Amino acid sequence: MKQDTNNAADLVILEAAENLFLEKGFALTSTTEIAKVAGCNQALVHYYFRTKERLFDAVFEKYAGLFISTLVQKTEDDISFEEKVRRKADTLFDLLKTNPRIPFLFFNELNTNPGRLSLLEEKIAGVSAAFMLQMESEIQVEIEKGAIRPMTATDLMFTILSLNLLLFLSAPVLKVMLGMSDTAFQHLIENRKRENITVILKSLRP
């Protein structure tokens, strides 16, 4: 592999693969191209990862872990429910801003390769159940106080996810449609962040 880097070859390959998968998805990315971007022979990709599938799994698992752990992260205790919701949306938004192409990759691959679902399933099962139960009970308290309207934790999480995910899923379309520069688009993103949080918080109202 290239001598101008002290990274281990497998990491260089992994990074090249990651970028290409994020750009074009699994099907349209070839190991030949990954090798070219990584600056090595195509056989080396297979030497380290055996199959293109395993290489993809490595990328997929990395980000699945990152997203899931962020989503189920417990917020501080000594803040209001509204503030907790705000922070949850905020954290998700920032994670997406740093990894804007991940939703595309996930939806694409989960839709085309149902087998990948089971991989995600086992990863999510334990952690999410605990988190959702906790949230459910907090919501129940708020409802009984009359602070928010009747709803479930699933309802709320789905709203938060929908608003934030779709922004980044549609980013490439929006950029072209609105003929925006990258900085103009950053502004739109920030505006929409505020709008998303507004919608989420208003949606709680009794």
Assign 145 to helix, strand or coil. helix
Residue 160's nearest CA partner among 201, 104, 120, 132 is 201
Is residue 183 at the binding interface for a copy of itself, with CB under 8 A as the rule? no
DSSP 76: P
- SS3 labels along 26-45: CCCCCHHHHHHHHCCCHHHH
CB atoms within 10 A of CB 201: 15
Name which position in 107, 137, 184, 190 contacts a copy of itself (CB under 8 A). 107
Q: Which does 114 bind (CB under 5 to 8 A by kind): DNA, a copy of itself, none?
A: a copy of itself
Beta carbon of residue 48, minimum distance to DNA (angstroms, whole number): 7
Q: Are 180 and 166 in contact (CB under 8 A)?
A: no
Is residue 69 at the binding interface for a copy of itself, with CB under 8 A as the rule? no
Beta carbon of residue 42, minimum distance to DNA (angstroms, whole number): 6
Residue 172's nearest CA partner among 90, 91, 111, 105 is 105
Beta carbon of residue 134, minimum distance to a copy of itself (angstroms, whole number): 18
Separation of alpha carbons 66 and 88, rounded Å: 15
Separation of alpha carbons 164 and 43, rounded Å: 40
Binding residues for a copy of itself, how many (CB under 8 A)?
40
Q: Which does 30 bind (CB under 5 to 8 A by kind): DNA, a copy of itself, none?
A: DNA
**Whose Cβ is closer to DNA: residue 61's or residue 136's?**
61
Which residue ranges make up the site for a copy of itself (CB under 8 A)? 24-25, 27-28, 104, 107-108, 110-112, 114, 117-118, 120-121, 124, 149, 151, 155, 158-159, 161-163, 165-167, 169-170, 172-173, 176-177, 192, 195, 198-199, 202-203, 205
